[in-house]
């Protein structure tokens, strides 16, 4: 029985069990799982588990950061999970399917700000309620404050998603934020440009007809509205990830800090306006033409189709293809059946969330369901969709079916929109005939909403099961560390020394593995920073662990994710267990070849037993000559 078997058993249990492990490898500090279903892993439990530093997701891997003793933990995990010495070769992620990958991507982009989005949704709902009750007047300062606060995250959605999508695609976070901000710049939106005269029209007299109001670098740009959108910014950030990788390969490191973001932002934003915008516009026009033809064929069939697909259309921002048709109907015949057909969708979504509230085991998701339900009542369903139903998949499908069922009732009663008014419970009055004061349409929508809600609630309660398991943490005993003496660490690598907080990898930057510094190497050679012993030399030679004669434990990690190079461009001159003297050559590496392969060569130098010292003096923001770290007992 291994020393870390208890820890290994709890790790295996909290990554979803051994049946959920597709493959397992490890580097110098972390276990790198490829899981069949990452939703089955309990990040909260793992993050709070004694013996685990943190949990990270990167490059399709579920990474559990352990520390220097990860090889020993790895052996026990392999034994507990019954993986043997080799791991499975099949990659579940490759066969996951486009739809599931897309849902996982969208959910991942929204997860970090679901709480704030729910709060803003409630703000929008309460503002509508207070206006209806006459507590303050429309257009008043209070109304403006409530509207600005509630609309903020929705209006500037591309800015927020620009940040979270950048994390998903490994783009610099503020680069992603700037790209999102550029997309929502007010005067470049279609709503602003259409106030002027077009300079030309593309695809005249076709369903793809598109007026052009501006040129960028001499090229015609088809206008589009990016505010409140989701998919366009995700596509642009995805494109930006490739631009950034290319820029990092060709731009010298000394100027990468500003030139990589410069070219990434410039090229990617242009790509958004020149390619993504027109594609969205063309799809919108095609859908609009398709729904027009469907309406001419059968209004009832069109009603069911709109009800069923309304929420997916909203996710992709393609519901705008129907709004112009609705406005045209209101202006020409005084009523519209298209938006009326979509009315039950928000109620179906809200009912599903209510059912999920009663069945969810995860306390955090259960708490999220409450504000999502409240905002859903007022027609704001984004918190429900992105936080609850879409990540779980089946509840989202149930809400789509429930919306379609409600739209059948809408068609049966012949309910129509007569004004473009409120959403959710404040949308019922939109169906009162303003010419005759006939309320039959409103009554029909009451019935449609009720049917959609009852259907969605009952089906969710009967056919959806929350498979997540909430686990408790047991105490894990760790071997006590020995007190060490004062130690001076000289620079093991020549180059520019920076604060560890500037490291790209979160586990290093946040000091989770210990205190230290970051070196940007100017020479591809690692030498011994003190007299001691080589305690760990990873097979790929990208990382080496040392312990000084006085007991200081040091990790030197060459590059970011360079474990993936499998030892290429690295050469070791020592082996595990060797005694070393200060200045001995330990490892050499080809920093230029590593950078050309698309990997950062930044090198964290970490004192992994930092807690054994009262103070560690870090000499950063300088060139690496002389003392690098001083550990005081």
Helix, strand and coil content of the chain, in percent to the nearest 5, comes to 55, 15, 30
Please provide the DSSP assignment of 449-507 as one string: HHHHHHHHHHHHHHH---------PPP---PPPPP---EEEE-SS-EEEEEGGG-SSHH
Phi, psi of 356 (to 5 degrees): -65, -35
Closest among 409, 405, 402 to 456, alpha carbons compared: 402
Question: How far is residue 564's CA from residue 32's CA, in Å, rounded to a whole number?
Answer: 11
Closest among 71, 65, 77, 76 to 21, alpha carbons compared: 77
Closest among 537, 552, 581, 437 to 485, alpha carbons compared: 552
Q: Collapsing DSSP states into helix, strand and coil, what is residue 604? A: strand
Question: How far is residue 223's CA from residue 213's CA, in Å, rounded to a whole number?
Answer: 7
Closest among 317, 323, 381 to 349, alpha carbons compared: 381
Contact 350, 381 (CB under 8 A): yes
**Which DSSP state fits 336?**
B
Angle between helix 323-332 and 277-297 (nearest 10): 50
Closest among 34, 15, 38, 14 to 25, alpha carbons compared: 34
Contact 591, 599 (CB under 8 A): no
Is 120 one of the annotated active-site residues of the chain? no
Neighbours of 508 (CB within 10 A): 25
Q: Collapsing DSSP states into helix, strand and coil, what is residue 271? A: helix
Contact 106, 233 (CB under 8 A): no
Six-digit token pair at 599?
């990997």
In the chain, what is the straight-line distance between the N-terminal and C-terminal CA atoms, in Å? 35
Q: Which residue has the tokens 């209101």?
A: 330
Report the alpha-carbon angle 35-41-43, nearest 5: 125
Q: Which of 7, 15, 24, 27 is catalytic?
A: 27
Contact 398, 457 (CB under 8 A): no
Q: Collapsing DSSP states into helix, strand and coil, what is residue 26? A: strand
β-bridge partners, 329: none
Question: How far is residue 302's CA from residue 114's CA, in Å, rounded to a whole number?
Answer: 33
Neighbours of 137 (CB within 10 A): 10
Contact 607, 554 (CB under 8 A): yes
Contact 441, 433 (CB under 8 A): yes
Six-digit token pair at 257?
């800090």
Closest among 71, 164, 155 to 121, alpha carbons compared: 155
**Catalytic residue positions?**
27
């Amino acid at each position: 029985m291994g020393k870390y078997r208890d820890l290994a058993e709890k790790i295996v249990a909290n990554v979803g069990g051994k049946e959920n492990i597709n493959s397992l490898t490890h580097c110098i500090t972390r276990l790198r799982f490829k899981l069949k279903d990452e939703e089955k892993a309990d990040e909260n439990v793992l993050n709070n588990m004694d013996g685990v530093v943190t949990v990270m997701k990167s490059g399709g891997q579920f990474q559990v950061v352990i520390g220097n003793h990860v090889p020993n933990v790895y052996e026990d995990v392999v034994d507990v999970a019954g993986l043997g010495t080799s791991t499975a070769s099949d990659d579940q992620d490759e066969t996951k399917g486009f739809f599931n990958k897309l849902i996982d991507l969208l959910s991942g982009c929204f997860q970090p700000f679901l709480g704030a989005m729910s709060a803003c949704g409630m703000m929008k709902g309460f503002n509508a309620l207070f206006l209806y009750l006459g507590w303050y007047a429309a257009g008043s300062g209070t109304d403006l404050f409530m509207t600005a606060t509630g609309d903020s995250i929705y209006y500037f959605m591309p800015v927020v998603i620009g940040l979270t999508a950048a994390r998903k695609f490994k783009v610099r976070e503020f680069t992603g934020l700037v790209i999102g901000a550029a997309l929502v710049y007010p005067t470049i939106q279609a709503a602003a440009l259409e106030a002027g005269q077009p300079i030309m029209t593309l695809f005249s007299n076709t369903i793809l007809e598109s007026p052009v109001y501006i040129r960028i670098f001499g090229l015609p740009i088809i206008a589009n509205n990016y505010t409140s959108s989701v998919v366009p910014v995700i596509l642009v950030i995805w494109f930006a990830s490739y631009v950034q990788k290319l820029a990092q390969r060709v731009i010298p490191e000394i100027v990468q800090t500003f030139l990589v973001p410069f070219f990434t932002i410039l090229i990617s934003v242009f790509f958004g306006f020149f390619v993504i915008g027109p594609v969205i516009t063309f799809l919108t026009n095609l859908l609009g033409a398709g729904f027009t033809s469907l309406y001419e064929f059968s209004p009832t069939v069109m009603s069911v189709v709109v009800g069923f697909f309304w929420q997916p259309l909203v996710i992709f921002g393609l519901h705008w293809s129907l709004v112009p048709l609705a406005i045209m109907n209101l202006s020409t015949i005084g009523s519209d059946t298209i938006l009326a057909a979509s009315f039950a969708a928000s109620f179906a979504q809200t009912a599903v969330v209510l059912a999920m509230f009663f069945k969810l085991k995860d306390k955090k998701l259960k708490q999220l369901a409450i504000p999502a339900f409240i905002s859903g009542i007022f027609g704001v369903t984004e918190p429900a969709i992105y936080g609850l139903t879409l990540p779980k998949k089946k509840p989202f499908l149930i809400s789509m079916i429930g919306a379609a069922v409600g739209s059948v009732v809408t068609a049966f009663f012949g309910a129509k929109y007569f004004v473009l008014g409120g959403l959710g419970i404040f949308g019922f009055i939109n169906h009162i005939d303003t010419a005759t004061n006939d309320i039959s349409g409103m009554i029909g929508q009451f019935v449609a909403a009720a049917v959609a809600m009852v259907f969605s609630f009952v089906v969710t309660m009967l056919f959806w099961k929350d498979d997540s398991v909430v686990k408790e943490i047991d105490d894990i005993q760790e071997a006590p560390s020995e007190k060490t003496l004062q130690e001076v660490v000289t620079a093991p690598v020549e180059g520019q020394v920076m604060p560890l907080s500037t490291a790209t990898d979160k586990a290093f930057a946040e000091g989770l593995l210990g205190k230290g510094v970051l070196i940007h190497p100017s020479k591809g050679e690692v030498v011994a920073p003190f007299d001691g012993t080589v305690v760990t030399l990873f097979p790929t030679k990208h990382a080496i662990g040392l312990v000084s004669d006085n007991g200081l434990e040091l990790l030197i990690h060459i590059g970011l994710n360079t474990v993936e190079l499998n030892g290429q461009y690295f050469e070791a001159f020592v082996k595990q267990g060797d005694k070393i003297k200060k200045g001995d050559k330990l490892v050499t590496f080809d920093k230029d070849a590593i950078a050309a392969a698309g990997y950062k060569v930044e090198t964290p130098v970490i004192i992994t037993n930092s807690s054994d010292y009262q103070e560690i003096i870090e000499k950063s923001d300088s060139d690496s000559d002389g003392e690098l770290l001083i550990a005081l007992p």
